[in-house]
Amino acid sequence: MRLIEAKKEYYRTLAKKDGYRSRSAYKLAQLDNSYHIFKSKSTVVDIGSSPGGWLQVAKQKVGENAMVIGIDLKHIYPLQGVITLQGSITDSEVIDEVLKLVGGKVDIVLSDLSPNMSGIWDLDHARQISLTRAALSASVRLLKRDGISVFKVFEGELLERLKKEMRCHFQRVYSSKPKASRQRSSEQYLVCLDFTLT
């Protein structure tokens, strides 16, 4: 078995053992180990959260008394202690519903969004960056001052411009590739700290 496939299979098997819905749960857990994203009782919104692996990690990290909300176009099978909404983050009514549920702004916004892959790299990259830009717009509406966001991105020519946009809203922006990601993959994560209200 090739190294890449072996690594993929390792995290898939581990996810089943640990009860996570996806192996991507380990990516978020590893990012948290590096950047200390979660604090007890933080309010979390996870964009593009189906099937729910990131929601599981977030809920474990912030505790049973904290609010965790998942948003996805797809139905998310219920998770104890997690609120799920079916809809698009480009729909202002969905964002309004989150703000209403929370009764204010949130501490953390997560985005693990990916497009339906066409196999045409330039197109897939552009679509992914567009999705992440929509997630950034949602974060600007949702976050408290000094809030945190984590965005999945694909490497490519449009990425640096997106990072510059993020630096207009966050004091610190870090690029990271957790061990659970395939190292040859173009996937990386932007960890954005200290949201600045505009």
E strands in the chain: 44-47, 68-72, 82-86, 106-111, 143-154, 170-176, 187-195
pLDDT at 46: 98
Residues labelled catalytic? 152
What residues are paired with 108 via a beta bridge?
Answer: 44, 148
pLDDT per position as a tens digit, 137-193: 999 999 999 999 999 999 999 999 999 999 999 999 999 999 998 877 889 999 999
Instruction: Please report where in the chains the tokens 């997690």 appear, as a residue.
Output: 82
- Taking 60 as the threshold, does the pLDDT of residue 4 lie above it? no
Residue 114 phi/psi, 5-degree rounding, is: -140, 145
pLDDT at 170: 98
Q: Is 86 helix (H, G, I), strand (E, B) or coil?
A: strand
- Taking 80 as the threshold, does the pLDDT of residue 2 lie above it? no
pLDDT per position as a tens digit, 114-128: 888 898 988 999 999
Domains by residue range for the chain, with CATH: 3-195 (3.40.50.150)
pLDDT per position as a tens digit, 48-82: 999 999 999 999 999 999 999 999 999 999 999 99
Q: CA 2 to CA 144: how far, in whole Å? A: 44
